[in-house]
A and B are shown apart, each in its own frame.
Chain A
Amino acid sequence: DAKTTQPPSMDCAEGRAANLPCNHSTISGNEYVYWYRQIHSQGPQYIIHGLKNNETNEMASLIITEDRKSSTLILPHATLRDTAVYYCIVRENSGGGADGLTFGKGTHLIIQP
């Protein structure tokens, strides 16, 4: 799996858009970008994933650069409940396989009131 680099921490004002960057310069053509988050003392929560195109769901948007070497997770209207550690993971979809996910250190996003 390609290595990812994320800033260790970020602040964002409540109600504003939170933009979390992730660098994955060694990503290969068949590797997806996944985002998870972990709110303190809870299990990790799946947010979104994508391959090439930008993706949006009810939680967030994922913007992947054209060269696929970096991506940005966007929380459009951050709330205090979005304070969490956000993990960017790059991996090939294993389909019938069952490899565990590898979580790095992630970005600690703190939403300020």
Chain B
Amino acid sequence: DAGITQSPRHKVTETGTPVTLRCHQTENHRYMYWYRQDPGHGLRLIHYSYGVKDTDKGEVSDGYSVSRSKTEDFLLTLESATSSQTSVYFCAIATGPSTDTQYFGPGTRLTVL
């Protein structure tokens, strides 16, 4: 399972509150990703990281920020959660020379009321 954990696994929060999701890996892989999955949209890339303190935006980055201060942790922050950010969030890592073979974490189900 590539040693990926996500926390929390479930969270319910209220509109306007800040939320931080954590992705942790145990194998020092360089590339890490955050996706969201919604019915009818499939998986969409939010942000990704290609090293410590090196991050970039994905397809749906508005309303999200990320940080990577250590190789093993990639944090996703919703500065002020909105109901449209209710979703399932998946973290992924890429192994080897190809970043197209990605391994996903178990997901975090976030509900914003």
Chain A residues with Cβ below 8 Å from B43 are: 44, 100-103
**In the bound complex, what is the Cα–Cα distance between A102 and B43 (angstroms)?**
7
Q: Identify B98's interface contact among A43, A93, A105, CB under 8 A.
A: A93
Contact call B107/A42, Cβ cutoff below 8 A: yes
User: How many residues of B are counted as interface, with CB atoms below 8 angstroms from the partner's CB atoms?
Assistant: 26
Task: Give 1 or 0 for each of A66-103: 1 = CB within 8 Å of chain B CB.
Answer: 00000000000000000000000001011111111111
Contact call A100/B100, Cβ cutoff below 8 A: no
The yes or no answer to A104 lying at the interface (CB within 8 A) is yes
**In the bound complex, what is the Cα–Cα distance between A35 and B23 (angstroms)?**
24
A-B contact count (CB 8 A): 62
Is the contact region of chain A dominated by helix, strand, or loop, or is it mixed? loop
Residue of A whose beta carbon sits closest to that of B109 = A41
Residues of B76-107 whose CB lies within 8 A of A = 90, 92, 94, 97-107
Q: Identify A32's interface contact among B33, B35, B100, CB under 8 A.
A: B100
Query: What is the minimal beta-carbon distance from B49 to any residue of chain A, in angstroms?
Result: 8
